[in-house]
């Protein structure tokens, strides 16, 4: 089960948060996120595929096209909760910003996502 959840976290990172095409991202969201997925950032809560997809589009559009989000440390799974430490920046360079995603799993999908920006 742990490996399946780790794979889900990698799909969350690579197929959703690093996907700049909204249509492809929306298709990936259906296999990775629960239908009523919740995204929490400080002072903000979004629910559902459309709202989360719109937020990701806004986030990615605010980054230079050469930037991507990469895994910085091993993914940690503790029962139905996962932790992903990430960085954002140009490929091959140190990240310009880092953060942590805390993901709550329900069955074989991500139900809730808490995003913490470090700098």
Mean predicted confidence (pLDDT) in 17-24: 97
Averaged pLDDT of the chain: 96
Put simply, whether the predicted model's pTM sits higher than 0.85 gets the answer yes
For tokens 């995003």, what's the residue?
115
CATH code assigned at 18: 3.10.450.50
Owning domain of residue 62 = 2-117
Mean predicted confidence (pLDDT) in 65-78: 97
In the chain, how many domains are there?
Answer: 1
Mean predicted confidence (pLDDT) in 80-107: 96
For residue 68, is pLDDT > 90?
yes
Using CB atoms within 10 Å of the CB of residue 56, give its burial: 0 to 12 exposed, 13 to 18 middle, 19+ buried.
buried
What share of the chain has pLDDT > 70, as a percent? 97
Mean predicted confidence (pLDDT) in 46-62: 97
For tokens 């140009």, what's the residue?
90
Using CB atoms within 10 Å of the CB of residue 66, give its burial: 0 to 12 exposed, 13 to 18 middle, 19+ buried.
exposed
For residue 25, is pLDDT > 90?
yes
Q: Look at residue 64 in the predicted model and tell me its pLDDT.
A: 97
Residue 61's CB: how many other CB atoms inside 10 A?
Answer: 9
């Amino acid at each position: 089960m742990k490996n399946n959840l780790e794979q889900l976290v990698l799909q969350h990172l690579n197929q959703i948060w690093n996907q700049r095409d909204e249509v492809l991202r929306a298709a990936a969201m259906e296999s990775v996120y629960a239908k009523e997925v919740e995204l929490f950032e400080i002072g903000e809560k979004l629910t559902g595929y459309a709202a989360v997809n719109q937020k990701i589009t806004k986030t990615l559009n605010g980054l230079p096209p050469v930037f991507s989000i990469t895994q910085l440390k091993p993914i940690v799974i503790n029962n139905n909760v996962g932790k992903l430490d990430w960085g954002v920046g140009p490929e091959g360079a140190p990240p310009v910003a880092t953060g942590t995603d805390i993901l709550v799993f329900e069955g074989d999908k991500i139900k809730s996502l808490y995003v913490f920006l470090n700098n």
